[in-house]
Amino acid sequence: MIVYDGIKSDFLHSVEDDTIALEIERNILAKMRRHTVENEFRSWENSMQYMYKVMNDPEIPADAGVAIEYNIPQTAKRVDFMISGYDAVGKPGMVIVELKQWSELEKVDNTETLVETYVGNARRKVVHPSYQAWSYAQLITDYNAAVQDKHINLAPCVFLHNYFRKDNDPLDDDRYEAYTSEAPAFTKGQVSDLRNFIKKCVKTGDKKEVLYMVDHGAIRPSKSLQNAIASMIRGNEEFIMIDEQRVVFEEIIKLSTRSQKDHKKRTVICTGGPGTGKSVIAVRLLAELTQRGQFVQYVSKNSAPRQVYAAKLKGKVKKSSVDNMFKGSGTYTEAGNNMVHTLLADEAHRLNEKSGMFHNKGENQIKEIIHAAGCSVFFIDESQRVTMDDIGSVAEIRKWAREEGSEVTEMELVSQFRCNGSNGYLAFVDDLLEIRETANYNLDGLDYEVRLCDDPADMQKIIIEKNRESNRARILAGYCWKWPAATRKDSRFHDIQIGDYSISWNLDDGQAFAISEDSVNEAGCIHTTQGLEFDYVGVIMGDDIRYENGRVVTDFTKRASTDQSVKGLKKMYKERPEEALERADEIIKNTYRTLMTRGMKGCYIYCTDPGMREYIRERLDSIPKGSPSVRSM
């Protein structure tokens, strides 16, 4: 949907008459039923003056199409400015201009897509503007049938009209070359260069014809995208399905396909514990349904699973359309009904009510996902809710499905493929942490390596050694140590201090903790590891969990002040202490349950509380001799 459209001469007149921002504001209200905030209005007034300078060139045709605030169909993405027409040989084309009011930025190490700049009243990591413009053009190309069938050339670029470029500017760093070469960035003083870029694509006017074709193009994944994701999946051992995973996969394919045929909204709830293959099925569904011509997206609250699974699909490919298939759970706050054919919500227990940086957008993420999708699929394990904001539950999904008139199908994954296929180990962890009483008091007969370590340094040595095999061993810790913003990029600063031992939290350097080779020297937390798996994990249990008077007790006051997962507990404790303690107990125990079940082959444990150490030692020492599980060291 295009918010504002006209031809070049219309646009110039509107800017000259100082009405362009008002026209955009009126159209947004009429077409989107949304009121414009003041800073957005001011940004239009400012940026359109600069685009007026660019467009005020007699060689840019007066009847070239101009569109402002183009909502890419089936997404919440908006293109700032587009110019359409025909090139020198009559081929239809459209220039995509991403407008930025930034005056500076810094490069981010170990990434080809992120920069750091001041936005939203703080310094934040955001995507490089050239990557943003490229990704918008790629998204339109990948899913717009008119662009594919009419061979419309899309030319993305960036205009940072307040940005003074300097020698060796971070904007032009070599790490971003894959995107700056496709979507060049123009800065202050480069109006003539931007004009020349536009004139290569738009030689003669189209009277908005190309804009109309793009705006009314059917939604359909391109053949190149279908072939690309098929080749990425083929032979990729990370995404092989076995046994009941295949049964669940086929049933969801059937239900999703049926929704596209009869246009009836359907919701699938797939429950399963750690290691039952929920994420594998989700990624395979993403590939298979895309190959069948559907517009499909993988959704998660945490960015870590999205980053890791996209990287595993792409392999060594830097620039890929696959990135556009992985979305955050707050993407759909303004989404229209059945905007996407199928949405695959992984780690659905982590979904929140509100979205956005300040938790002030939308109504309920579960509702919004169901509303946005013809078929919505939720992969969930209620025992992995680990923050105060986590609302994902089977009951909550059922409730919103009823509200949206969506037919519900429930299925369950039971077989354990992590922890050496041992449901017994999961039952042992539940019993150990007193989450639920089970028959698995110890690990007798289980082919899974568990060690209690008396020294965290010894545990780290083991993890480093195990990691040499395949980069699949990591140290994880409960969130009992602060993660100061000022030192999040400094590996020399060790946040976690335990006697003479120290280690830094995972660095905020743009790399995924689960696959970065250097992260074996760091400690991951629940937020960087949930939904992922390793061969071996070393888990540091902090002072928020202790063993006292014959019971496992939790203490939310020992969580770090930088931990947002328990935000609001202190206030709840003052008002409703029993409810607060019960909620805190669930969060802390679920956190350690999740961390202790990330390993496929083994888990090593260190506890800061001596009582907890002795309690676990007693449980492990009760294993008869000859058991394959290692007890303590």
User: What is the Cα–Cα distance from 302 to 325, expressed in whole angstroms?
Assistant: 15
User: What is the Cα–Cα distance from 522 to 86, expressed in whole angstroms?
Assistant: 54
Lowest-confidence pick of 50-59, 207-216, 484-493: 484-493
Fold held by 223-413 = Rossmann fold (3.40.50)
| pLDDT-based confidence at residue 31 (cuts at 50, 70, 90) | confident
Q: What is the maximal distance between C-alpha atoms in the chain?
A: 88
pLDDT of 633 above 70: no
Strands of the sheet containing 266-272, edge to edge, are: 326-328, 296-300, 340-345, 373-380, 266-272, 407-413
Is residue 624 within 8 Å of 445, Cβ to Cβ?
A: no
User: Could you report the per-residue pLDDT of 593-605, keeping only the tens digit for each?
Assistant: 999 999 999 999 9
Mean pLDDT across 252-276: 96
Q: Look at residue 354 and give its three-state secondary structure.
A: coil
The alpha carbon torsion through 114, 565, 350, 354 (nearest 10 deg) reads: -80
User: What is the Cα–Cα distance from 26 to 20, expressed in whole angstroms?
Assistant: 10
On average, the pLDDT of the chain sits at 93
Mean pLDDT across 389-407: 97
pLDDT at residue 612, as a whole number: 98
User: What is the Cα–Cα distance from 547 to 615, expressed in whole angstroms?
Assistant: 7
Tell me whether strands 266-272 and 373-380 are parallel, antiparallel or unpaired: parallel
b/e per residue, 189-215, with b = 16+ CB within 10 A? ebbeebbebbbebbbebbebebbbbbb
pLDDT of 157 above 80: yes
User: What is the Cα–Cα distance from 253 to 325, expressed in whole angstroms?
Assistant: 18
pLDDT of 313 above 60: yes
**Quick one: tokens of 40?**
């957005």
Domain boundaries in the chain?
2-215, 223-413, 432-621
User: What is the Cα–Cα distance from 524 to 474, expressed in whole angstroms?
Assistant: 7
- Candidates 115, 383, 151; CA nearest to 272 is 383
User: What is the Cα–Cα distance from 179 to 135, expressed in whole angstroms?
Assistant: 9
Mean pLDDT across 398-407: 98
pLDDT at residue 403, as a whole number: 97
| pLDDT-based confidence at residue 581 (cuts at 50, 70, 90) | very high
pLDDT at residue 508, as a whole number: 82
Which amino acid is residue 423, in one-letter code? Answer: N
| pLDDT-based confidence at residue 485 (cuts at 50, 70, 90) | confident
pLDDT of 623 above 70: no
Return the residue matching tokens 């007193």. 434
| pLDDT-based confidence at residue 511 (cuts at 50, 70, 90) | confident
Which helix (H) or strand (E) segment holds residue 628: the answer is none
Strands (E), 38-145: 65-71, 78-86, 92-100, 106-107, 114-119, 122-127
pLDDT at residue 114, as a whole number: 93
pLDDT at residue 627, as a whole number: 57
- Within its chain, how far is the Cα of 241 from the centroid? 23
DSSP state for residue 483 in the 8-state scheme: -
pLDDT at residue 152, as a whole number: 98
Mean pLDDT across 563-588: 94
Mean pLDDT across 156-165: 97
Residue 617's alpha-carbon distances to 323, 435, 610, 613, in angstroms, are: 45, 19, 10, 6
| pLDDT-based confidence at residue 421 (cuts at 50, 70, 90) | low
Q: Look at residue 352 and give its three-state secondary structure.
A: coil
User: Could you report the per-residue pLDDT of 67-125, keeping only the tens digit for each?
Assistant: 999 988 777 789 999 999 999 999 999 999 999 999 999 999 888 899 999 988 888 99
User: What is the Cα–Cα distance from 372 to 332, expressed in whole angstroms?
Assistant: 7
Return the residue matching tokens 């760093």. 173
pLDDT at residue 557, as a whole number: 95
pLDDT at residue 243, as a whole number: 80
Q: Is the pTM of this model over 0.95?
A: no
Tell me whether strands 65-71 and 78-86 are parallel, antiparallel or unpaired: antiparallel
- Candidates 416, 384, 418; CA nearest to 603 is 418
- Candidates 49, 25, 29, 26; CA nearest to 38 is 25
Is residue 429 within 8 Å of 443, Cβ to Cβ?
A: no
- 16 Rama sector, left if φ>0, alpha if ψ -120 to 50, beta otherwise: alpha
Mean pLDDT across 529-552: 96
- Candidates 49, 73, 196, 230; CA nearest to 143 is 73
Lowest-confidence pick of 278-292, 433-447, 475-489: 433-447
Is residue 504 within 8 Å of 491, Cβ to Cβ?
A: yes
User: What is the Cα–Cα distance from 304 to 512, expressed in whole angstroms?
Assistant: 7
**Quick one: tokens of 356?**
């956005």
Answer with the residue of higher pLDDT: 234 or 614: 614
pLDDT at residue 288, as a whole number: 96
Burial class of 481 by CB neighbour count within 10 A (0 to 12, 13 to 18, 19+) = buried
| pLDDT-based confidence at residue 463 (cuts at 50, 70, 90) | very high
pLDDT of 629 above 70: no
Dihedral sign, CA of 58, 59, 62, 66?
negative
Neighbours of 56 (CB within 10 A): 15
- Within its chain, how far is the Cα of 238 from the centroid? 19
User: What is the Cα–Cα distance from 202 to 97, expressed in whole angstroms?
Assistant: 13
Mean pLDDT across 13-25: 95
pLDDT at residue 628, as a whole number: 55
- Candidates 270, 286, 363; CA nearest to 326 is 286
pLDDT at residue 183, as a whole number: 98
User: What is the Cα–Cα distance from 260 to 256, expressed in whole angstroms?
Assistant: 7
User: Could you report the per-residue pLDDT of 166-205, keeping only the tens digit for each?
Assistant: 999 999 999 999 999 999 999 999 999 999 999 999 999 9
User: What is the Cα–Cα distance from 285 to 291, expressed in whole angstroms?
Assistant: 10
> How far apart, in Å, do the first and last CA atoms of the chain sit?
63
For the chain, percent of residues with pLDDT exceeding 70: 97
394-403 vs 365-372: helix crossing angle, rounded to 10: 50
User: Could you report the per-residue pLDDT of 340-386, keeping only the tens digit for each?
Assistant: 999 999 999 999 999 987 788 999 999 999 999 999 999 999 999 99
Mean pLDDT across 549-555: 97
